[in-house]
A and B are shown apart, each in its own frame.
Chain A
């Protein structure tokens, strides 16, 4: 039997559970945006109900991680894996809440006619979910290169959010009766923008997992001690 076989299994369980929660969260974002664009109230109610499972799994994983820390006193790569697992699960739980928030907006809109065809919002959802998926792929592979790429995609979502905001303000100015529906869509856009931020956070955790460096968005790679050809305009200190 390899050394610490039981501990290895616990570490694998943490990683598997994070990836499972991640897949639930991916699905729930898609469904929440779909409920909004299809005006499908039943689907929206389902998304709201399904969030409980994500919350329960996150809490169970948190307890499991704390128990493993207490019993195994992990060090080095093991410690980084468990800390990363805790943090990523917490980010995923928050992303689940954003999906639930979008579903609630969908319910609130009820059978009001759509303000406009949704174009940018589904795009934001696609990019955000893609970022989330890649950040989880990076976690699975402990690949900080993939994580770096996720980091860079956040700008696209920020720009789309800005674009949606400006467009919706125009609708509001045109007709005050649009204000409520436009505001609700702004919240949706804001939630998706936060999803992308959280996916970026997950990417940062993966960078910590694989390098031990704690990085935050806005820092250049050279700021955190990593060189990258892809970040030449990142505002490095050199």
Chain B
């Protein structure tokens, strides 16, 4: 099990061999409230390691809230409450002894709108390693991260240029490089392509498939074709009777998009919802 305790900065290199391809993320009876508003209700799911899991569902069904549970991003919002377990490699991420900063290092996140810092490309990528007091070669980790994000060839001659000067698609890949620089095991992606054109979207999707070789990805997307194209597994959320987001089913993506088990999934993915 990975040590997520406060003050532990151990890198996970040694743990790579211990990966067994089982579940890396899981929730058990997870419910989440914004003050008195129940946003997601009783969600239990396991997400396999080094696979791409897509979360689909109509607006307001709690997909993003669910995603943010895995790296404790929701607790930054006042008045929220969580019940049930959120597990990362067998550790309950909400355990008192777990350091949220360490969790966020291992479970990285990419957002809908590319949000590079108003800094150079280099400094954007180096930001996380510096905060984590990375001891190795910074040039090396910047290059490696930019290469993994399929951006290196486009920016290698101008690393001092502002990250904000890049195109939307490049900015999003810079954000992915920035997330990769702290060597996460999981990448949470919240609508990462919704602000991008089809070509930039294709590049991100290709990149996701490459990254899946050594990390796990959970992507929230409104674009069902995207979920069908990139993911290994798909989870369908919808609004339950109580108005809270519920998990309807999760299965192999191939099955969800050809023969879903639940009529609500069928209605949603065939565009007959509501």
* Min C-beta distance of A204 to chain B, whole Å: 15
B48 contacts partner chain A, Cβ-Cβ < 8 Å: no
Report B-chain residues with C-beta under 8 Å of the C-beta of A80: 258-259
Report B-chain residues with C-beta under 8 Å of the C-beta of A233: none
| B 99-135 to A, binary, CB cutoff 8 A, 1 in contact else 0 | 0000000000000000000000000000000000000
Interface with A: B188-196, B209-217, B264-272, which one?
A: B264-272
Tell me if B259 and A75 are in contact (CB < 8 A).
no
For chain B, the bracket of interface size reads: 10 to 19
B21 contacts partner chain A, Cβ-Cβ < 8 Å: no
Whole-angstrom distance between the alpha carbons of A46 and B255 in the complex? 46
A76-B270 contact, Cβ under 8 Å, with A211-B259, A212-B258, A212-B259: yes
Whole-angstrom distance between the alpha carbons of A80 and B259 in the complex? 8
Whole-angstrom distance between the alpha carbons of A150 and B225 in the complex? 36
Tell me if A4 and B271 are in contact (CB < 8 A).
yes
Whole-angstrom distance between the alpha carbons of A75 and B272 in the complex? 11
A122 contacts partner chain B, Cβ-Cβ < 8 Å: no
Q: Which of B246-274 contact A (CB under 8 A)?
A: 255, 257-260, 265-266, 269-274
The residue on B at minimum CB distance from A79 is: B258
A3-B271 contact, Cβ under 8 Å, with A75-B228, A75-B257: yes
For chain A, the bracket of interface size reads: 10 to 19
B224 contacts partner chain A, Cβ-Cβ < 8 Å: yes
A3-B273 contact, Cβ under 8 Å, with A76-B260, A77-B266, A212-B259: yes
Report A-chain residues with C-beta under 8 Å of the C-beta of B269: 75-76
The residue on A at minimum CB distance from B260 is: A76
Whole-angstrom distance between the alpha carbons of A3 and B274 in the complex? 8
Q: Which of A203-227 contact B (CB under 8 A)?
A: 211-212
Tell me if B272 and A76 are in contact (CB < 8 A).
no
Tell me if A78 and B258 are in contact (CB < 8 A).
no
Tell me if B260 and A4 are in contact (CB < 8 A).
no
| A 1-39 to B, binary, CB cutoff 8 A, 1 in contact else 0 | 011100100000000000000000000000000000000
The residue on B at minimum CB distance from A75 is: B269
Tell me if A7 and B266 are in contact (CB < 8 A).
no
Report A-chain residues with C-beta under 8 Å of the C-beta of B258: 75-76, 79-80, 212
Report A-chain residues with C-beta under 8 Å of the C-beta of B228: 75
Whole-angstrom distance between the alpha carbons of A211 and B258 in the complex? 10
Whole-angstrom distance between the alpha carbons of A10 and B272 in the complex? 15
A73 contacts partner chain B, Cβ-Cβ < 8 Å: yes
Tell me if A76 and B266 are in contact (CB < 8 A).
yes
Q: Which of A57-86 contact B (CB under 8 A)?
A: 73-80
Report B-chain residues with C-beta under 8 Å of the C-beta of A78: 270
| A residues at B contact (CB < 8 Å) | 2-4, 7, 73-80, 211-212
**A–B Cβ pairs within 8 angstroms, 21 of them:** A2-B272, A3-B271, A3-B273, A4-B270, A7-B271, A73-B225, A74-B270, A75-B224, A75-B228, A75-B257, A75-B258, A75-B269, A76-B258, A76-B265, A76-B269, A77-B266, A77-B270, A79-B257, A79-B258, A80-B259, A212-B258
Q: Knowing that A76-B260, A77-B266 are A-B contacts, what are 19 other residue pairs whose CB atoms are under 8 Å apart, sorted by A's residue number?
A: A2-B272, A3-B272, A3-B273, A4-B271, A73-B225, A74-B270, A75-B228, A75-B257, A75-B269, A76-B259, A76-B265, A76-B269, A76-B270, A79-B258, A80-B258, A80-B259, A212-B255, A212-B258, A212-B259
